[in-house]
Amino acid sequence: MRKLTKIRSESIFISRFFDVHLPDRCATIGESPVLRSFRMWGPLMRDLLRWLVVGLVILAAKEAFADRYIDGVPIPDDAAVIAADPPAGFSAAWVGRWGGELKHILIVERIKDGGTADVVFAWGDAPQLGIKRGWDRPNARIDGNTLTLTGSNYSATYRRSASWVEASYERGPLNRRAELTRMSFATLLAPDMTFAAAGESIMIDSGLLENGQPIRLQVVISKPEGAGPFPLLVFNHASTGKGTNCESFKLVTFDRGFAKIFVNKGYLVAFPQRRGRGKSDGLYDEGFYADRTLGYTCEPERALAGADRALVDIEAAVAALRRRQDVKNERVLMAGTSRGGALSIAYAGMHPNDVAGVINFVGGWITEDCGLAARQINSTLLARGAAFQRSTLWLYGLHDRFYSLGHSGQNFAVFRSAGGKGVFLPFDMDGNGHEVITEPAKWRSDVKHYLDEIDASGGK
């Protein structure tokens, strides 16, 4: 409405301006050749000039209310997300790519009574498909965890699961699918927001079998723009606390802030979800009691068997990722947090010739609630990394509710005594020391120095 009002008011002004200042085509004027020429061409010139000025005003109005662009995808300048009360699951911005290629943004602006919603459906350029960027505000309806859009000649369906949405698009015979990640509207508008850092979810064939059935693993990927190839960083996720909440097994683990840091350094960053985690196939079975309702076990044999199972999944994911055309044929940088950090250290010891380095955030397998068994389990797993004869980086925090700094320091000492190489850096965390990864300002310079060392030694 704002644009229409402005343009209409200017049009009235222009019409009145020309009515006053240009001769009326019926006015009586002396019949000199010049005036006869003016009588012949004047009306045409007046109309041309009028439309020229109208066009300029329209262009000026469009410029005044121009679309804003999110990494090349336009959204209307008045787009906004009005949080629902009570909070509703779809209220946010959702970002992904149709068919893994065409950039797409869905903004759920407002959820109304009766299940309808105000949304913005936006897309980027795809010259290879003959698609030009644009946006639309189609009709939208929400039914539980499903949002359905109906445009003038297309329809789209979004099914929400935790922090991800599975989307499908139809226009005549054309069908496309996408995985969208949730982000706040403020994050969407951030100057450095890119689709590369937003992440793309894929399913890979792991080559593993479970009960005779092939297993696919979900991997969330962030990478720089372009075809690559890029150096590969594999980030391994943590546990789910005590292992007693089966709903948390299906949460997709992906750290957008961490990914952005390394994408900006030129890495393709992959977050594999191990069996039974996120959308990956199979059973999540990483060291539970025989009665799984009791959660993660303190029994060393069962706990370490669970770690072995996780390492098999990581091996399968890394092998599949290294076959990608956009991944460089060189050593892989491993990283992870909590259980993922310990697994990254152990993996490097098992594959010393395939790993460039390891960044271990607060790594451990079982909490100190298990007493002496925790020391046995954690030190045994981490000592496996000693066969990796390159430097590793261990980043830990004070006030860790799972692993005290003394406990983790003893694990590092066992690793070193077994022949491992690395640097152990403690950080004074104001809150939870287990969340070191969430405060990059504390460790960014140390990681940069570590990566410089890898490059200097020809580690890649």
Reported as a pLDDT band with limits 50, 70 and 90, residue 201 is confident
Q: How far apart are CA 196 and CA 200, in angstroms?
A: 8
Reported as a pLDDT band with limits 50, 70 and 90, residue 20 is very low
Q: What rounded mean pLDDT belongs to the chain?
A: 84
Q: Which residue has the tokens 């292992």?
A: 243
CB neighbours of 376 closer than 8 A, spacing ≥ 6? Answer: 300
Whether CATH 3.40.630.30 fits 195-456 = no
Prediction pTM value: 0.70
Tell the burial category of 247 from Cβ atoms under 10 Å away from its Cβ (0-12, 13-18, 19+): exposed
**What are the backbone dihedrals phi and psi of residue 179, each rounded to the nearest 5 degrees, phi first?**
-110, 120
How confident is the model over 146-177, as pLDDT tens digits?
Answer: 999 999 899 999 998 756 788 999 988 888 88
pLDDT at res. 17: 29
Q: Which contacts (CB < 8 Å, 24+ apart) does range 63-68 have?
A: 64/6, 65/2, 65/3, 67/135, 68/189
At what angle are helices 372-383 and 405-417 packed, to 10 degrees?
A: 40
Give the tokens for residue 209. Answer: 């079998």
pLDDT at res. 51: 56
Q: Please state which of the four CATH numbers 2.40.128.120, 3.40.50.2000, 1.10.260.40, 3.40.50.300 is assigned to the domain occupying 70-184.
A: 2.40.128.120
Min mean pLDDT across 27-41, 136-150, 298-312 is at 27-41
Direct distance between the N- and C-terminal alpha carbons of the chain, in angstroms, rounded to an integer: 57
Give the tokens for residue 50. Answer: 């009028």
pLDDT at res. 13: 28
pLDDT at res. 392: 97
Average pLDDT over residues 326-341: 96
Is residue 425 within 8 A of residue 455, CB to CB? The reply is: no
Domain ranges of the chain: 2-64, 70-184, 195-456
Is residue 61 within 8 A of residue 10, CB to CB? The reply is: yes
19 pLDDT above the threshold of 50: no
Tell the burial category of 322 from Cβ atoms under 10 Å away from its Cβ (0-12, 13-18, 19+): middle
What's the residue count for the chain? 460
Give the tokens for residue 44. Answer: 């045409």
Q: When comparing pLDDT for 12 and 285, which is higher?
A: 285
Q: How far apart are CA 146 and CA 157, in angstroms?
A: 7
364 CA to centre of own chain? 26
Q: When comparing pLDDT for 99 and 274, which is higher?
A: 274
How confident is the model over 30-67, as pLDDT tens digits?
Answer: 455 544 554 555 566 566 556 555 555 444 444 444 58
How confident is the model over 389-441, as pLDDT tens digits?
Answer: 999 999 999 999 999 999 999 999 999 999 999 999 999 987 789 999 989 99
Strand ranges for 273-349 from DSSP E: 332-337
Is residue 194 within 8 A of residue 96, CB to CB? The reply is: no
**What are the backbone dihedrals phi and psi of residue 342, each rounded to the nearest 5 degrees, phi first?**
-65, -40
Q: How far apart are CA 336 and CA 359, in angstroms?
A: 7
